[in-house]
Amino acid sequence: MTSDVEAIKPSGGSDENRSDEDIIQLEKDFRILHDQAQKLITERVSLESDINKLKKRTARLDEEIRLLKSPPLIIGHIQDLLNDESAIVRSSNGTVFQVAVNKRLQSENLKPGTRVALNQDTLAVTDLLHDAWDPLVSGAEMIERPEISYGEIGGLDEEVLRLREAIELPLEKPELFREVGIEPPKGVLLVGPPGCGKTMIAKAVAAQTEATFIRMVGSELAQKYIGEGGRMVRELFSLAREKSPAIIFLDEIDAIGAKRLDAATSGDREVQRTLMQLLAELDGFDALESVKIIAATNRPDILDEALLRPGRFDRIIEIPLPEDGARKAILSIHTNRMATSRISMPRLVEQTKGFSGADLKATCVEAGMTAIRDGRSKVSQKDFQIAVQTVIKKRDSNADLSAASELYA
């Protein structure tokens, strides 16, 4: 009997060990399944987040598609406000309407002259628009200044000094003019033959002054449709006043500033309207204050008398052909940058009598090209002599041309 009991005991111990191993194995399996469940939950949350983002993006794209498919809005201006719900507007084609106003718009922002968007069907005011300038006017502001200094302008020391007194001094030290009791000059007109440095002086002003520099060619203000040229002039001065202190440079002003004649075509009359708007801006009711004007032309004989009178261009500075001393200064500026050998400056100055600043620069360039053609790294006196003859021959041939066909002879 005792032997039977002792034979049963070992078998019970093995069962207990087996059950413990099963529990441990089950715990391991449970932890593995639990980790897998946590990973699946994390992936589900991540996928749900991605789905929400895609839904938002889809909704945004649907809204953009709806806006693209919606009818366009008409640009207009408010002329008068009748009450909080209606106003008098002028559409882009000039027609005047009484329309409804969007109640969500703030009434204090709705003023006569405000630029607004109108519904195409009902012409109701739907949105406020900021004031905008013509792209040609807004693009006239010089962002990157030219790298040129007054020291690079040779032979025009007195002219540069008079220009700086009239343009830069009132902007930098206006208190001096108030102490003396005078109004500073409004503008300067640069006149002189082509190639004498009028535009170059304006570039130096743009590079050296800290004021906003706005440049415009006179021909760009001559527009085809009635009132467009005057509007551009008005916007040009409005931009300058907003960004003051500012300097406006009008190159080739004779394109719109020619004398007004009785017998004129419709195009001439539109140019005259542009000129009259320019005259009003230069010396009208609205003060220019910190806005100065520089204009340039090589045809002062055809300018209108109203443009030349004091009060508009207070100083008319002549940029003449360079004399001996001026030619020497200009040639020195150009030759100092060149690799030269044994150059006789007095002889070169004598040979270039009657040359403009542009002719002198062309002479230096031509001399350098001659040296390059011969395979040399330095420019000699002979190169300059050949260049002078080349420039003289070119000037004479240009003066003698009487027909366009001769250009190709």
Assigned token pair, 407: 């250009």
pLDDT at residue 310 is higher than 90:
no
Mean pLDDT of 356-360: 87
Distance of CA 270 to the CA centre of its chain: 26
pLDDT in tens, 339-350: 888 888 888 888
Domain boundaries, the chain: 1-70, 74-128, 138-318, 324-402
pLDDT at residue 386 is higher than 50:
yes
Output the pLDDT for position 50: 92
pLDDT at residue 305 is higher than 90:
no
Mean pLDDT of 160-187: 86
Output the pLDDT for position 409: 39
Per the CB < 8 A criterion, the answer to whether 226 and 270 are in contact is yes
The overall average pLDDT reported for the chain is: 81
pLDDT at residue 18 is higher than 80:
no
pLDDT at residue 405 is higher than 70:
no
Whether this prediction's pTM lies above 0.75 is answered by no
Output the pLDDT for position 8: 46
pLDDT at residue 206 is higher than 70:
yes
Per the CB < 8 A criterion, the answer to whether 327 and 354 are in contact is no
Backbone angles phi, psi at 391, to 5 degrees: -65, -40
pLDDT at residue 238 is higher than 90:
no
- Residue 56: pLDDT band (50, 70, 90) is very high
Contacts of 102 (CB under 8 A, 6+ apart): 124, 125, 126, 127
Domain 324-402 has CATH 1.10.540.10: no
Per the CB < 8 A criterion, the answer to whether 140 and 102 are in contact is no
Judging by beta carbons within 10 Å of its beta carbon (0-12, 13-18, 19+), is residue 190 exposed, middle or buried?
buried
Give the type of residue at 45: V
Output the pLDDT for position 52: 92
Helices (H), 211-265: 228-242
Q: Pick the residue with more confidence: 136 or 307?
A: 307
Q: Is 247 helix (H, G, I), strand (E, B) or coil?
A: strand
Query: What is the percent of the chain with per-residue pLDDT over 90, rounded to a whole number?
Result: 6
* CATH number of this structure's domain 138-318, picked from the four choices 3.30.70.1140, 3.90.1010.10, 3.20.20.70, 3.40.50.300: 3.40.50.300
- Does the fold of domain 324-402 match that of domain 138-318? no
pLDDT at residue 217 is higher than 90:
no
Output the pLDDT for position 160: 87
Q: Pick the residue with more confidence: 137 or 114?
A: 114
pLDDT at residue 315 is higher than 60:
yes
Which fold is adopted by the domain 74-128?
OB fold (Dihydrolipoamide Acetyltransferase, E2P) (2.40.50)
Q: Is 96 helix (H, G, I), strand (E, B) or coil?
A: strand
